[in-house]
Structure 1
């Protein structure tokens, strides 16, 4: 179909003149109508091609994200069960995921505890400040290990690989920080004992992991035993400290009224 430029009526493509107003069609008008139709088809084809490319790109990204997630989950479970297996890790991304998660959890725990203080800044601003500080501390620790490994112990290990190997030794901290965060959400005051135990254990794990990475050698199963033994002893000592404190508080509560009555009367 083509349009009459004089009255706007639609005529067949082979019409020589408009049956409505009698105006004659020129060859140029006919060619313009054909060009418009071809351009419309071309634009449609380009849009379909663009949409197809976008769909393929989204599918590829989805596969990549799924692969990364599965790779990290396998890495996490492996190093959680046997920390020394992290010394065999050669990937360059799982360690960064590990340290980002640790920084996020540390920041969430800190925000949950600090917000009970009325004078403390709260909200997303505090979270990002704590996250930035925590992440910089983690990177500094990785940097120290990288320097010692490469320049002191003469073991050539890329920085990203050091990150993944050292990060694997901290997998248990993900569990501990989750427990502390949930406890802080329930009630920072009522769950203070669990929060204190978790925070202390996180610090102990950091110290153990740092030294394990410096001490790793041919037989790392001994380091696994050392890791578990130190953690077990730390848990026992912390529990004893908590029980002792509770016992002392109960004794003080019972003795104070008696002593008060004795001296007053």
Structure 2
């Protein structure tokens, strides 16, 4: 479909994307302001300059940082999935409602988590409802594009949506593992669900590390893959690269977080995806080198 900046769906996406970007910046500022107020810093030079102390486990600051990390795990997925969802030609009023629900949910999540902590299920609802909108948009994107012919752009869209859904799956897996083991990062969760506060559970930390590895690699695919599409690559080869990258990220999670296997299983899965990113990045650089 043809999209223009005058389209109500496009304008709605732009507005709520900007609001969410500002929200991310607010969380960074809130962390810094809280450090200043409490005189607690992560770096010796800050403590010396501003007259405080170095401390890494202040409960208030760590709560804000966890809320910020939760935003970083979900908002970029919205930017990608919602942008792709817009290309499917949704009804403007329905799409705008989804964007509003997601944005409002993320704002409420921060309020009840980092600013005025409330007992569960306040945060659970604020987290779960926006996530459902992402799963819905992601599934609609895949269903829309997977049935069409498969040129490079459509292939990129399908695999980008799959990778965004994979990121959301790992967020859910972390929460489910905490519930199953009764191990939580926040006192209100432990009180509500009958567990204990623990920050170093081996299973939870393994999943969180796998999730972080995805956050370090999948956004790079979204950017490099999109730029690579603009170079006019051979359709079958580009689709092959997107498929291998997606499969390698899925395998990485399987052998790291779900069914841990000895090396080199995880290393192979990681390096395969990394080589594909490097290849696409080099091709983009070579293609546009005249602009340097």
- Shorter-chain-normalised TM-score: which range? 0.3 to 0.5
Greater relative CO, 1 or 2 (CA 8 Å, sep 6+) = 1
User: Could you state the TM-score of these two structures normalised by the residue count of structure 2?
Assistant: 0.30
Name the TM-score, length of structure 1 as normaliser. 0.32
